[in-house]
Amino acid sequence: MKLRDRIALITGGGRGIGRAIALACASEGAQVAVAARTMEQVESVAKELTDQFQVQATAIACDVSNVNSVTAMFGKVSEAFGRGPDILVNNAGIAESALLTRTDDDLWRRIQGINLDGTFYCMRAAMPGMIERGWGRIINIASIAGKTGAPYIAAYSASKHGVLGLTRSASQEVAKNGITVNAICPGYVDTDMTTRGIENITQKTSLTKDQALESLKKMSPQNRLVTAEEVAALALLLASEDGRGINGQAINVDGGGVLF
């Protein structure tokens, strides 16, 4: 029970990577708050955690791009568990694609608002309590797009590059307080987000869904998609005492496609 008596808050916790991380944390004894814009999804995950692992779990509706909603979310975590989170996983995110010249202001702001502003708002809200308690783990789910670029994803790539900048700078500010701040950079993960990406590829190209899937798999030397559980396993390491020496890092989980 590596996370016994720890409180974990996971944004974007209703499905995919967020749900997998919530399950991993609960399996090691953490009490878990799962948050997302869709309340029905996080309620289902919270019930799953309680039923399977007999831990306290709560579901919270939150739009991380809205600072007032983030403030309210942290208040609800404190109400449910008696204090703020020891572990914060910033997983909420969106991925939309367009050529840079066709990226309008609304698309740009929507992606930055959720992926970058949301991460910043949550980190800023979580840190004071972690500093006061002398222990904390912040895990930002970024992307290999935060280290490289590709056509059609300028806005998304910019947001994830920003997340890595936040991660690295914050890690240096709080290292002396018993807090680590790290990022995980997945490649294409077998989740609903990738499924929507495949649908987008088929709409914009002559590829079938199977051909689009194969093209994504070939971006990894392992010729496969990453699983949400693989990302969750790394998140669990970073959240535990076993990972206390890892700080300020952006760790790829992509089968070796990006080597820095």
For residue range 156-204, what is the model confidence (pLDDT) as tens digits? 999 999 999 999 999 999 999 999 999 999 999 999 888 888 888 888 8
Residue 203: its pLDDT value, please?
84
Q: Is 7:86 a contact under the CB 8 Å cutoff?
A: yes
Residue 246: its pLDDT value, please?
98
Q: What is the pTM of this model?
A: 0.96
- CA 113, CA 94: separation in Å to the nearest integer? 10
Mean pLDDT of 58-82: 98
Q: For the chain, what is the HEC assignment?
A: CCCCCCEEEEECCCCHHHHHHHHHHHHCCCEEEEEECCHHHHHHHHHHHHHHHCCCEEEEECCCCCHHHHHHHHHHHHHHHCCCCCEEEECCCCCCCECHHHCCHHHHHHHHHHHHHHHHHHHHHHHHHHHHHCCEEEEEECCHHHCCCCCCEHHHHHHHHHHHHHHHHHHHHHHHHCEEEEEEEECCECCHHHHHHHHHHHHHCCCCHHHHHHHHHCCCCCCCCECHHHHHHHHHHHHCHHHCCCCCCEEEECCCCCCC
User: Which domains does the chain carry?
Assistant: 7-187+228-244 (3.40.50.720), 191-225 (no CATH)
Mean pLDDT of 75-86: 98
Whether 152 is catalytic: no
Q: Is 247:241 a contact under the CB 8 Å cutoff?
A: no
Residue 199: its pLDDT value, please?
87
Q: Is 130:82 a contact under the CB 8 Å cutoff?
A: no
- CA 230, CA 186: separation in Å to the nearest integer? 9
Residue 192: its pLDDT value, please?
85
- Smallest CA-to-CA distance from 88 within 28, 43, 25 is with 25
DSSP summary character for residue 245: T
Express each pLDDT in 100-117 by its tens digit: 999 999 999 999 999 999
- CA 101, CA 152: separation in Å to the nearest integer? 10
Lowest mean pLDDT among 50-54, 64-68, 203-207: 203-207
Mean pLDDT of 77-86: 98
pLDDT at 205 over 90: no
Confidence at 62, pLDDT banded by 50, 70, 90: very high
Mean pLDDT of 193-220: 89
pLDDT at 258 over 90: yes
pLDDT at 214 over 90: yes
Residue 44: its pLDDT value, please?
98
The Cα-based distances of 17 to 14, 153, 191, 216, 232 in angstroms read 9, 20, 8, 18, 7
Confidence at 43, pLDDT banded by 50, 70, 90: very high
Residue 197: its pLDDT value, please?
84
